[in-house]
Amino acid sequence: MPELPDVEGFRRVLAEHAGKRIEDVVVHDAQVLRGVSAQRLRKSLTGQRFEPPRRLGKWLIAPVGGRPETLVLHFGMTGSLSTGPPHRHDRVVFRMAGGELRYRDMRKLQGLRLLGESGLEELLAGTGPDALEVPKGRFRELLPARRQLKGALTDQAVLSGLGNLLADEILWRAKLNPRTPAGELSPAEVDRLHARMRSTLRTAVRAGRVPPRASWLTGHRDEPSGACPRCGTALRHGRTGGRGTVWCPRCQPG
């Protein structure tokens, strides 16, 4: 499921098409359009060009040259942006001078927005710093003391880009229990969490996704009796904030 590393990959796909003329926008399923009609989207984009896109957390932000509007994409759980062959879950297709760009999303939990200046400002104001970019000093300050660690990491208003799987992976690497109140961490533990978050994200961004490696926790979370890739202890499964949570009781006591 798309988290920060996947969205960074989609950003690169879109970046390759920046500056090319948008010939047409074909909306196959208007259910993914949020606050914009198919007609307005088409009118606003056709004949224009995307400026170089940026990413904040899981948001992909593409200003439209020649217009005061910005296309903002979110990929929910099952979304993607690609130039590959057509697929039945392609919801919106951008016909560009250099090929077709496909917004694909099976479950339609999120979608596309076309925001003006104030709408974009509002969106960005409600989104915390990017998990890949946030410096150590800022990271120390932003974790709300009275919250469970995992809930804080996955709250996009606190820190943006981490989803359920990456949060578990990072906490496992930092050897911290998901339910630990953030305020109970020592300064050294906060620094370790920041360091593990950065290294995990850097590796995943290079791969364009969370890599399917046996040495990562993520690959073992769906195994009924999965073992910790580090110490072999049986992994524990629970729920945090309504989401499945996997951790090693030996590496991550608490």
Partner DNA sequence: CGGACTCCCTGGCAGC
Partner DNA sequence: TGCTGCCAGGGAGTCC
Catalogue the active-site residues: 2-3, 58, 243
User: Please, what sign has the CA dihedral across residues 185, 189, 191, 192?
Assistant: negative
Asked if 218 is part of the footprint of DNA (rule: CB under 7 A), the reply reads no
Site string for DNA, 47-76 (x = CB under 7 A): ----------xx---------------x-x
Site string for DNA, 100-129 (x = CB under 7 A): ------xxxxx---------------x---
Asked if 209 is part of the footprint of DNA (rule: CB under 7 A), the reply reads no
How long a stretch of residues is the chain?
Answer: 254
Q: What is the distance between the terminal CA atoms of the chain, rounded to a whole angstrom?
A: 28
Nearest one of 217, 196, 160 to 4, comparing CA atoms: 160
* # of chain residues touching DNA (CB under 7 A): 33
Q: Quick one: which of 53, 63, 151, 229 contacts DNA (CB under 7 A)?
A: 151
- Distance, in Å, from the CA atom of 195 to the CA atom of 28, rounded to the nearest integer, reads 43
In the complex, the smallest distance separating the C-beta of residue 58 from DNA, rounded to whole angstroms, is: 4
Binding site for DNA (CB under 7 A): 1, 3, 31, 57-58, 74, 76-77, 88-89, 106-110, 126, 144, 146-148, 151, 154, 156, 163-165, 181, 239-244
